A and B are shown apart, each in its own frame.
Chain A
Amino acid sequence: MIDLLSPALPETLAGLFGMTNLKTWTVVFVILTFGLYLGIAWWSRVSDTKGFFIAGGGVPAPANGMATAADWMSAASFISMAGLVSGMGFAGGVYLMGWTGGYVLLALLLAPYLRKFGHFTVPDFIGDRYAPRSLDASANKLNYARLIALFCAIFVSFTYVVGQMKGVGVVFSGFLGVTPATGVFIGMAIVFVYAVFGGMKGITWTQVAQFWVLITAFLIPAIAISLKLTGQAIPSVGLASPVLESVDPARPYLLDKLSSLNQQFGFGSYTNAYGENAGKWNRLNVFCVCLALMAGTAGLPHVIVRFYTVKSVKAARWSAFWALGFISLLYLTAPSVAAFARYYMVDDIAGLNGKTAEELPQWYHDWNKTGLIAWVDFDGDGKLAFTNNLTDQTIDITPSDRLLFGSTPRDLVPPNELMRIGKVPASIRDELLANPSAWVTANGGLSQAEFDEIEQSQSKPWPPHTVPAHPASPEELPAYEATKQAYETAYKEREEIEQRIIQLKTKQVATAKAKLLELGAAHHPDRDIIVLATPQMAQLADWVVAFVIAGGLAAALSTASGLLLVISSSVAHDLYYKVMNPQASEKQRLLVGRVAIGVAVCIAGYFGINPPGFVGEVVAFAFGLAAASFFPAIVLGIFTKRVGTVPAVAGMLVGITFTAFYIVTQKADVILLNAEVAEAIFGPKGQGLRVPWFFGIDAQGIGTVGMVINFIVTLSLTPFCKPASPAVQELVESVREPEAAPGTPGSTPAPHIENAPAH
């Protein structure tokens, strides 16, 4: 999810220091929460593989639900998701639905069966279910199905965890004033301590604590802003309520107003689904992206592994319910936060639009210091304009909207003046923040002669309207015509001068704006400030902002540690124990597990400091690959007995290859080394393979197609290939069987790896 994190986050956080007492409060909260995490890790340290990989299989369902929720909600979904929905409106729903709807697939199609199967990892299931017939299941050294699954699990987990580490580094460096590298080191050290000593048990109980930190930090500002804007304490209710009279005397419904405001200022409607007044994605894209996220969620190894940590299949089902219940606390609140924050940005009464410098709210000034939101009054009219008009002139962007909403005094949309200047060099940024108009004047590229011309022209008065009413008698007509003629000529002359002024000013705006954009500014305020600014929009104290930062760290650390455990168990269990050394003792495996997690922390830390290009595209990659590989293989593995090794492996390979190839062609610039390499391989940008060549589907949604291809390949090859071996069919039969009643001979309270056959 890291590509949701804005690249400007370091500046966001660095800028926060300007605020009073914030640093002190943040240090206090970080020390408190980290102390708590380490204390829990010490209390739950483990000494066996069962404890290390699956927390002893005895975590109560609600606690496991909280841990799963914390595992799932990363720094990006905590800090960036609401901002993303705020900007995207309706289409932002794909993230909300995708990351929750996947849990239904998980709970109904996968979790109980994988739990019944009773091993540690997804590659383990794939490896056993699709073991090649020629191999003895217990000695499948060349089990290619397992190796492919292993490779996917490690790749998906690594792309994900690197992003988390980077996020931790960024947050730390922001508020402790250290370099991002030092920040990553601090994060690595903390995760190292509780993951290496506590294993899954330590991680699980720490995640329970992290869940409470992050959810409280998210809900407090959300509830406060909902109360302030709509008077409703529950943000989801606030979303469907009229705003308070103190906010807008007309008391419009929040979303009604937001939709018309968005259109008035040239953005797509907030609530419209498709068409010209909506976001960039059409129906097919919204569908594909959403389904890819859903199937990807269900196939993500670090989420699936959580269902091994509970006592029974029954508990696994409850655990899925608790997990989604806790996740929905954040996911149902995020759209409200998104809409509230949008209202405070766009509205022309409570928000920023049309405000003069004196009228701007305090939260704007607080965040202005960071440069993430900066009003540059290009046209010098003294009024802020936050619009989707990215040109240099007032234009009529959305003529069809006027038919819908009626003509308003501002149906012409002025150029956008709300920028992000966080990346602009510090000296210029200070200049801009001190006096934006002066900067525009100085950098508009106008000569002194042109300035003089503007000044002279502006002082010329418009001709007084002296034309009398149309005369009744014909003899007065010539005199009337002459006056009218004279007036019209004078008016035309003045109009020409006016056009010249506009032309010069437009030139000035265009030059200044182009220069600013070249210096690294962006044409919109930063989306990450949405969640971080809500405490101030709701006029809460500084310590709430500090608490929100601690929440963001909790989100990043909990996800990172869960992923690191998946990597460790994949290496120690699937690679070392199942492939390399099946005779390994309990002690050896535990040692390998600890070493693997330690090495994984170091590698993740290294890439967190020096992120490779593909990390930015991790949403597309991690979800696309999980959807195109694991999901069909596991579902078919459980619900059909006939599907054998060759079709399943072929399906996975074709699905992965297609998905990876498509994503690489779409994101060649960032995934391959640089733009030149991308061009050498796939040709110039915007042509051939470098446009969405598969029905215009976005790279984020291609996992859906990969998944369908996987299903088709597997199912169409099945009749021509050997069915699964009788032993495997028996295995399928056994995972479908209801769990025996507790206490009877067939009951399997938890996988017990010391005694379990290593099949």
Chain B
Amino acid sequence: MSVSADRVSQAKQRYWRRNVTLMVCLLAIWAFVGLGCGILFADKLNEAGSIGGVPLGFWFAQQGSIITFVVLILIYAIAMNRLDDKYHREVKSEGDAADTEGGDA
């Protein structure tokens, strides 16, 4: 029983680490595209080129960043919901559903 609870607690720690890793990666993209491409180096990107008459920096500020944001949340929802399922499978394989509740004891 205590071995099982221990494993559940390990599974929980793995879950949290993966969660934080995913979050940090996605937020890095968020900051790079939104605050970076859209603002901090928008002028450089503007000089770098344009699509259909829209300079790149301007495009990121008014179109690209918004599209990126939607995609980021989509990835997060899919990845996290999968991670939840994986965690549930790991915990279930321990064979004691009750531990899911008392795991942090």
* CB within 8 Å of B: which A697-752 residues: 730, 733-734, 736-741, 744-746
Is A328's CB under 8 angstroms from B67's CB? yes
* CB within 8 Å of B: which A347-383 residues: none
Cα distance A57–B21 in the bound complex, in angstroms: 30
Chain B residues contacting A109 (CB-CB under 8 Å) are: 23, 27
Chain A, interface size category, equals 35 or more
Chain B residues contacting A313 (CB-CB under 8 Å) are: 84
Is A90's CB under 8 angstroms from B58's CB? yes
Is A736's CB under 8 angstroms from B52's CB? no
- Do A317 and B104 form a contact, CB below 8 Å, given A90-B42, A109-B23, A252-B53? no
Is A737's CB under 8 angstroms from B104's CB? yes
- A676 interfacial by beta-carbon distance below 8 Å: no
- Do A236 and B63 form a contact, CB below 8 Å, given A253-B52, A272-B43? yes
Q: Residue-by-residue, is B24-38 near A (CB-CB < 8 Å gives 1, otherwise 0)?
A: 001100100011001
Is A275's CB under 8 angstroms from B52's CB? no
Chain B, interface size category, equals 35 or more
Smallest beta-carbon distance B101→chain A, Å:
4
- Do A97 and B26 form a contact, CB below 8 Å, given A104-B69, A745-B101? no
Chain B residues contacting A93 (CB-CB under 8 Å) are: 38-39, 58, 61-62, 65
Is B57's CB under 8 angstroms from A273's CB? yes
Is A314's CB under 8 angstroms from B81's CB? yes
- A682 interfacial by beta-carbon distance below 8 Å: no
- Do A324 and B70 form a contact, CB below 8 Å, given A85-B62, A108-B26, A738-B15? yes
Is A745's CB under 8 angstroms from B98's CB? yes
Which stretch (A71-79, A285-293, A433-441, A528-536) binds chain B? A285-293
Is B39's CB under 8 angstroms from A738's CB? no
Cα distance A739–B35 in the bound complex, in angstroms: 32
Is A107's CB under 8 angstroms from B73's CB? yes
Q: Residue-by-residue, is A622-655 near B (CB-CB < 8 Å gives 1, otherwise 0)?
A: 0000000000000000010000000000000000
Chain B residues contacting A180 (CB-CB under 8 Å) are: none
Chain B residues contacting A290 (CB-CB under 8 Å) are: 34-35, 38-39
- B51 interfacial by beta-carbon distance below 8 Å: yes
Partner of B55, one of A97, A104, A255, A291: A255
Is B87's CB under 8 angstroms from A291's CB? no
Smallest beta-carbon distance A293→chain B, Å:
11
Partner of A273, one of B52, B58, B74, B88: B58
Q: Residue-by-residue, is B44-78 near A (CB-CB < 8 Å gives 1, otherwise 0)?
A: 00100011111101110111011101101110110
Cα distance A272–B58 in the bound complex, in angstroms: 8
Is A96's CB under 8 angstroms from B92's CB? no
Cα distance A314–B84 in the bound complex, in angstroms: 9
- Do A287 and B27 form a contact, CB below 8 Å, given A331-B66, A332-B67, A738-B83? no
- B12 interfacial by beta-carbon distance below 8 Å: yes
Is A255's CB under 8 angstroms from B53's CB? yes
Chain B residues contacting A324 (CB-CB under 8 Å) are: 69-70, 73
Chain B residues contacting A97 (CB-CB under 8 Å) are: 34, 38-39, 61, 65-66
* CB within 8 Å of B: which A571-587 residues: none
Is A317's CB under 8 angstroms from B55's CB? no
Is B81's CB under 8 angstroms from A317's CB? yes
Smallest beta-carbon distance A235→chain B, Å:
10
Cα distance A746–B77 in the bound complex, in angstroms: 21
Chain A residues contacting B23 (CB-CB under 8 Å) are: 108-109
Cα distance A93–B39 in the bound complex, in angstroms: 9
Which stretch (A162-170, A239-247, A419-427, A665-673) binds chain B? A239-247
Cα distance A736–B92 in the bound complex, in angstroms: 19
Smallest beta-carbon distance A289→chain B, Å:
10
- A131 interfacial by beta-carbon distance below 8 Å: no
Is B12's CB under 8 angstroms from A317's CB? no
Residue in chain B with minimal CB distance to A274 = B43
Residue in chain A with minimal CB distance to B42 = A273
- A34 interfacial by beta-carbon distance below 8 Å: no
Chain A residues contacting B39 (CB-CB under 8 Å) are: 93-94, 97, 273, 283, 286-287, 290
Chain A residues contacting B42 (CB-CB under 8 Å) are: 90, 273-274
- Do A283 and B66 form a contact, CB below 8 Å, given A271-B55, A317-B76? no
Cα distance A151–B43 in the bound complex, in angstroms: 41
- Do A328 and B66 form a contact, CB below 8 Å, given A90-B58, A254-B53, A320-B73? yes
Cα distance A196–B98 in the bound complex, in angstroms: 41
Chain A residues contacting B88 (CB-CB under 8 Å) are: 738, 740-741
- A103 interfacial by beta-carbon distance below 8 Å: yes
Smallest beta-carbon distance A262→chain B, Å:
12
Is B84's CB under 8 angstroms from A271's CB? no
Cα distance A242–B50 in the bound complex, in angstroms: 13
Chain B residues contacting A240 (CB-CB under 8 Å) are: 51-54, 59
Chain B residues contacting A730 (CB-CB under 8 Å) are: 104
Chain A residues contacting B52 (CB-CB under 8 Å) are: 239-242, 253
- A212 interfacial by beta-carbon distance below 8 Å: no
Residue in chain B with minimal CB distance to A745 = B101
Is A90's CB under 8 angstroms from B70's CB? no
Chain B contacts to A: CB under 8 angstroms? 12, 15-16, 19-20, 23, 26-27, 30, 34-35, 38-40, 42-43, 46, 50-55, 57-59, 61-63, 65-67, 69-70, 72-74, 76-77, 80-81, 83-84, 87-88, 92, 97-98, 100-101, 103-104
8 tightest Cβ-Cβ pairs between the two chains A and B: A253-B53, A240-B52, A93-B61, A746-B101, A335-B62, A273-B43, A317-B77, A271-B58
14 A–B contacts from the bound complex (CB under 8 Å) = A97-B65, A103-B73, A105-B30, A108-B73, A109-B23, A109-B27, A240-B59, A274-B42, A287-B39, A317-B73, A317-B80, A320-B73, A737-B104, A738-B87
